[in-house]
Amino acid sequence: MTVVATLSKNKNLKVLDKEQLLKDYRLAQVSRQASLMGRKEVFMGKAKFGIFGDGKEMAQIAMAKHFKAGDFRSGYYRDQTFMLAIGELTIEGYFAQLYAHTDVKAEPASAGRLMNGHFATRFLHDDGTWKELSAMKNSSADISPTAAQMPKLLGLAYASKLFRQNKEIQHLKQFSNHGNEVAWGTIGNASTSEGMFFETINAGGVLQVPMVVSVWDDGYGISVPNEYHTTKGSISEILRGFQRNDDQAGYEIFVVKGWDIEGLDRTYENAARIAREEHVPVLIHVIEMTQPQGHSTSGSHERYKSKERLSWELENDCILKFKEYLINKEVATEEDLDRIEKEAKTFVKEAKESAWKAFAGGIKTELEEAVSLIKNLPSTSTKFVQIAEELNKTLNPIRKDVISTVRRVLWMLRSEPESIKTELRTWYQNQQAINEDRYSSHLYSQSEDRVGNIQPIAVEYADDASLVDGREILQACFDNLLATDPRFFAFGEDVGKIGDVNQAFAGLQSKFGELRVTDTSIRECTIIGQGIGAALRGLRPMAEIQYLDYLYYALMTLADDLACLQYRTKGGQKAPLIVRTRGHRLEGVWHAGSPIGMILNSLRGMLICVPRDMTQAAGMYNTLIKADEPALVIECLNGYRLKEKMPSNIGEFRVPLGKPEVLREGNDITVVTYGSMCRIVMSAAEELLQMGIDIEVIDVQTLLPFDTDGMIAESLKKTNRVLFTDEDLPGGASAFMMQQVIEGQKAFYYLDSEPATLAGKAHRPAYSSDGDYFSKPSVEDVVEKIYEMMSEVDPIRFPEI
């Protein structure tokens, strides 16, 4: 139901298209009735929670008029009217999401994985290949954390700049029409207090990208009024310094009332033109909005709004104002509009009932199957009939009710003959497989381009291969990527002119230009957002975070947006961003951290690569550029000037991800490690050999995925002992590796000694070389730990040191 109200561009003459205006009114009423009925569905127990877009209808209809094919939205969970207006949401789909319907056809945004009000269009075909985004109206997948939609908005807009200015990618018509696409962002007024908002606004002004940011201002953030949120109580007032002028680039800033029909249309028409044609960012502050039902179903706004404010909201409701406008302009009579409202109620009610029937029908079928199986159990006990009847009487059952009951019945049957429980158990196992797809699939790519399908290519060396600094190998790798893939570009702090702080991009900006190798300001959160947005639009960005410890600035964006993107859209969107950083050993509290456990626990859904040297890192980059999954690559900070042989196939060799490498074969104990610790452990191996201890050293290479073929367990079959060591905190990545091997690979049964870990101290590393030595595992630490393990086995041969 896409509806457009047209106004003449002649500012002195408004020619109103009555038919279109009435369609606008009908759409506004449909959206409002969906909000009202949605709230009731929650209170009836048919949905868990509800958050709605009532009060925001007219501004969103105005915005939708100027949202064209190829444009992108990065928005806010109150944008239902907009999504209806652009034709990318149906009322059935709206209620399907409220009920958490797991059928992607019924609920294409997320197959029931996103809370209601969280919108997304499907950028990908079922096989994971890209659709023709330039011919579609696109919405990136919403996320709940306030202002978290802003970082990727920057990237969605930045991609338009690249497509317009970089002739080498203008042939990619599937993704862009010469960069004419606008990225549209929406945000609530209270969320503009978040740092992500300000960081994005600043970066957008610096980059001059075509994004239009709409602030829906209803005066509150849940119970807290604007004066507690924003200096001067107005985001547009405090951003006036961003207003462009004749001498300085900046923003165009508009303020418009959320019920001003003509003003909204003029504002969005101007904003779209400025952003689309001039690539100038625009801020639209939409004031005097209302929120008729309060923040959400979690409570009433009458608790915190004064009677005067509540009265004002009733009088200034945008739909009421629109109704008055239509009557005053003689577009329709009050009776006509009342009839439209009544028809909208009927339409929404029917759509709601259809959505509920579709949602509940599938569960009902499963419930009936379970009830029948339980009732027909070949057992003399009547208790199973009673259980089945109680299940059958469940009001508004969910799958948990069905599966929980079946599992408990199977508990009760544990002592019965196998023939009695086989049919019920088989049904349960089949349902578990189906539910695994419904609720747990697509954490990682399932397409043909997933990393596990990228064929490895061995590194090759000429007989006279030169020894070079590790950074030179990376430089040669990046040179090749830039030369062979026009979609690839790199950006970050100090990446451009000086070629990054460790010189891996040295000279490449002058060779390939500033659009391909780009400096940014100090803004880790939006560096990642810039990469996510560009990757969503079919490009292959590399976003650099200068040091691993600085990843904390961007952690929420990585965790809440990038890492879970494929999961929360059930394969509907992907952003194969490569995040490059460096860490482990150097100097001090903020430049030598190894928070790998934090990363592993936060970024499931990304690949976590931990190369031990720059050759290995280059091979990983060559693999990742062929795959369609996001990745974090953590280079060794102390390895850029260590000597390595220059490969002869620098642009071709690929390191397999998820496949450990045996660096040294041995028989007494297996040592599992990665990154900078590989050199430490290899040095310790030489010392231990002098003591009569022969260790096997395994570099896991990647922590996610982790040893997909069970190579480490095979090593334990030989050595029967294992030490996991790294520089993270105790209980961090070393514990993760232990769990993966001992539990995941069932390696406990091969052990003759207790598995052990050796990690860094619980504190961050102190400054100086001594601080490094006493904070993180040293050669001596590794030697003594392994010697202690062997001494326990054979104290005569290995007496206490």
pLDDT for the residue numbered 787: 97
Asked if pLDDT for residue 9 goes beyond 70, the answer is no
33 vs 27: CA distance, rounded Å? 10
Asked if pLDDT for residue 248 goes beyond 60, the answer is yes
At 771, which helix (H) or strand (E)?
Answer: helix 768-775
pLDDT for the residue numbered 764: 87
Q: Quickly state the pLDDT bin for 294 (edges 50, 70, 90).
A: confident
Asked if pLDDT for residue 8 goes beyond 60, the answer is no
Q: Any idea of the CA torsion for 619, 621, 625, 630, to the nearest 10 degrees?
A: 130
What is residue 695's three-state secondary structure? Answer: strand
Share of the chain above pLDDT 70, in %: 98
User: How many CB atoms are closer than 10 A to CB 664?
Assistant: 17
pLDDT for the residue numbered 297: 87
pLDDT for the residue numbered 6: 38
255 vs 317: CA distance, rounded Å? 18
Q: Quickly state the pLDDT bin for 584 (edges 50, 70, 90).
A: confident
Interval 23-47 mean pLDDT: 96
Contact 643, 469 (CB under 8 A): yes
Distances (CA, A) of 423 to 282, 403, 416, 489: 62, 15, 13, 56
Share of the chain above pLDDT 90, in %: 93
28 vs 264: CA distance, rounded Å? 15
pLDDT for the residue numbered 1: 33
pLDDT tens readout for residues 524-580: 999 999 999 999 999 999 999 999 999 999 999 999 999 999 999 999 999 999 999
Closest CA to 673 of 685, 681, 684: 681
Interval 482-488 mean pLDDT: 98
The residues annotated as belonging to the active site are: 591
Q: Which of 304-308, 517-521, 685-689 has the lowest mean pLDDT?
A: 304-308
Any idea how long the chain is?
Answer: 801
Output the average pLDDT for the chain: 95
For the CA atoms of the chain, what is the radius of gyration? 30
Strands 702-704 and 607-609, sheet pairing: antiparallel
User: How many CB atoms are closer than 10 A to CB 467?
Assistant: 10
Asked if pLDDT for residue 303 goes beyond 70, the answer is yes
What is residue 527's three-state secondary structure? Answer: helix
pLDDT for the residue numbered 392: 96
pLDDT tens readout for residues 178-217: 999 999 999 999 999 999 999 999 999 999 999 999 999 9
What is residue 21's three-state secondary structure? Answer: helix
The CA-based angle 514-517-519, given to 5 degrees, is 80
153 vs 185: CA distance, rounded Å? 6
Q: Quickly state the pLDDT bin for 16 (edges 50, 70, 90).
A: low
Asked if pLDDT for residue 70 goes beyond 90, the answer is yes
pLDDT for the residue numbered 4: 35
User: How many CB atoms are closer than 10 A to CB 552?
Assistant: 13
Q: Any idea of the CA torsion for 44, 50, 55, 61, to the nearest 10 degrees?
A: -110
Asked if pLDDT for residue 740 goes beyond 50, the answer is yes
pLDDT for the residue numbered 105: 97
Q: Global pTM?
A: 0.95
356 vs 503: CA distance, rounded Å? 59
* Contacts of residue 205, Cβ cutoff 8 Å, sequence gap at least 6: 242, 249, 250, 251, 281
pLDDT tens readout for residues 596-628: 999 999 999 999 999 999 999 999 999 999 999
Q: Which residue has the tokens 């993270």?
A: 728
Asked if pLDDT for residue 14 goes beyond 50, the answer is no
pLDDT for the residue numbered 380: 61
Q: Which of 375-389, 712-726, 773-787 has the lowest mean pLDDT?
A: 375-389
Q: Quickly state the pLDDT bin for 593 (edges 50, 70, 90).
A: confident
Q: Which of 291-300, 409-418, 752-761 has the lowest mean pLDDT?
A: 291-300
Interval 407-414 mean pLDDT: 95
Check whether the bond before 225 is cis (ω within 30° of 0). Answer: no
Contact 157, 271 (CB under 8 A): no
Q: Which residue has the tokens 């509800």?
A: 50
Asked if pLDDT for residue 459 goes beyond 60, the answer is yes
